[in-house]
Amino acid sequence: MRISLRCLQSLKTSLATKSVLEKYASFNPSPLSLKKFVEFGRMGAMECSKEGSSKESYAFLQKELPVRLANIMKEISLLPENLLKMSSVKLVMSWYQQSFKELIEFENQDRINKNIMENFTHTLINIRNRHSNVVETMAQGVMELKENHGIDSNTENRIQYFLDRFYMSRISIRMLINQHILLFGKKEKNNDPRHIGCIDPNCNVSLVVQDAYENARFLCEQYYLAAPELNIVSKNSSVLENESDPIQIVYVPSHLYHMLFELFKNAMRATTEHHSEEDQIPPLNVMIVKGQEDLSVKISDQGGGIPRAKLELVFQYMYSTAPQPARSDIASAPLAGYGYGLPLSRLYARYFQGDIVLNSFEGYGTDAIIYLKVLSNEANEMLPVYNTTASKVYHTDIPVNDWSSSWVTSHRLQNPTPKSRS
């Protein structure tokens, strides 16, 4: 009898959670700009308004975080059935379900007091820690699917579409959580007094470039016993600053570092391998330019370039020119891994309306360009929204090609697409 009651109670809880999930998934996420993050953070840094700001942050996050989680959780449920059966994907799903369940416990708290605020911050820390290996675990799930069942072109397109949205959602959720914890958490404070949470209002781009280069160089020298040197040229074209002023913007240094570190690793690997038989390795040339709207960072290498036919593939999650990492140690390969580095770096750039573009000169080298927004009020979050348009993508096959060429024909013969069942 007790077991039956427990099962009944568990079923009621599950149905109630599902109902709440549907409710939150019906709302669109509310994107913030870097300017809003900074303005709110500055208020929170002032002792006279700190308590009020922490309550405002709580009031926003206890509604917004469940919305962002619910939106992407609905999309997880639309993934191919074989992928949902993979143990790694099941584990990721369980993390999201647990985090959503913990957040909605704060839904009906009428009176906000100190204990509730502390419990909420503690919950956010637990959620952040729980989701720390989401990228690797989901990548493992896709690898499991590929190894056990294979992936046709339609499934690959759907997974690519999902992963872009899934990882972008994760970036945004971690951004909100980190800001709250760094601003209002007791134990976790940012070491740099200039920073507002994880945002630097005067992020010195050259210093981040130098830092990312040095760390990538250390790995390259460990792996190849050599590494290319670095040349940096900067030009400040902002009308509000002098040309000689250091190039600074409002940005998240860790995001910029992530992009630069990945691009430097790729450039160093290509350059060192391409010139392995030569006495001297050509340097990497970096140009940093600040205009009225865009800040551009161009990394130019002489690593042999990428064939034009493969240029689009480098941003595919299931494409990598490097050996896959060992299952037992995800971080075992020093200069390569799952092939997620470039796609994720582009998401970090696009998160605040920037981008990463590659221009290749096959036989010579590659230019990788990071574009960032100069004006913080224009750097708005780019967030995935679950709606009928998004859901259709998971049930729509690739349209039949309406162009004829020898390349298309040969490509089809080499990579036949299974006929979809009507």
Joined tokens for residue 338: 């799952």
Do the beta carbons of residue 282 and residue 231 sit within 8 Å?
A: no
Count Cα atoms within 13 angstroms, Cβ side, for 241.
16
* Sequential DSSP letters for 225-246: S----EEEEEEE--TTS-TTS-
Question: Residue 290: what pLDDT?
Answer: 96
Do the beta carbons of residue 165 and residue 384 sit within 8 Å?
A: yes
Joined tokens for residue 229: 């040197």
Question: Residue 319: what pLDDT?
Answer: 77
Do the beta carbons of residue 338 and residue 322 sit within 8 Å?
A: no
- How far the first Cα of the chain sits from its last, in Å, is 47
Distance, CA of 404 to CA of 301 (rounded, Å): 35
Question: Residue 7: what pLDDT?
Answer: 52
Question: Residue 318: what pLDDT?
Answer: 81
Question: Residue 18: what pLDDT?
Answer: 84
Tokens 């675990």 sit on residue? 137
**Cβ contacts of residue 27 below 8 Å, gap of 6+?**
67, 70
Label residue 405 exposed, middle or buried (CB < 10 Å: 0-12, 13-18, 19+): exposed
Distance, CA of 206 to CA of 422 (rounded, Å): 55
Joined tokens for residue 384: 């995935």
Question: Residue 187: what pLDDT?
Answer: 64
Do the beta carbons of residue 365 and residue 294 sit within 8 Å?
A: no
Question: Residue 320: what pLDDT?
Answer: 64
Question: Residue 268: what pLDDT?
Answer: 97
What sign does the CA torsion over 373, 377, 382, 387 have? negative
pLDDT in tens, 158-188: 999 999 999 999 999 999 999 999 998 876 6
Question: Residue 127: what pLDDT?
Answer: 97
pLDDT in tens, 64-89: 999 999 999 999 999 999 999 999 99
Reading phi first (left if > 0) and then psi (alpha if -120 to 50, else beta), residue 363 is in: left
Do the beta carbons of residue 355 and residue 346 sit within 8 Å?
A: yes
Helix (H, G, I), strand (E, B) or coil at 336: coil
Residue numbers in the chain where pLDDT is lower than 70: 1-16, 44-52, 110, 187-191, 320-338, 405-422
Using N-to-C axis directions, what is the helix angle for 134-148 and 87-104, rounded to 10°? 150
Q: How many angstroms separate the Cα of 324 from the Cα of each of 161, 268, 328, 336?
A: 22, 19, 12, 8
Active site residues: 258, 262, 265-266
In 273-385, the DSSP E strands lie at 284-290, 294-300, 355-361, 365-373
Question: Residue 46: what pLDDT?
Answer: 61
In 89-243, the DSSP E strands lie at 200-204, 230-236
Question: Residue 291: what pLDDT?
Answer: 94
How far from chain centre, in Å, is Cα 379? Answer: 16
Distance, CA of 172 to CA of 326 (rounded, Å): 29
Q: What share of the chain is helix, strand, coil (3-state, %, to 5)?
A: 55, 10, 35
- Beta-ladder partners of 295: 290, 372
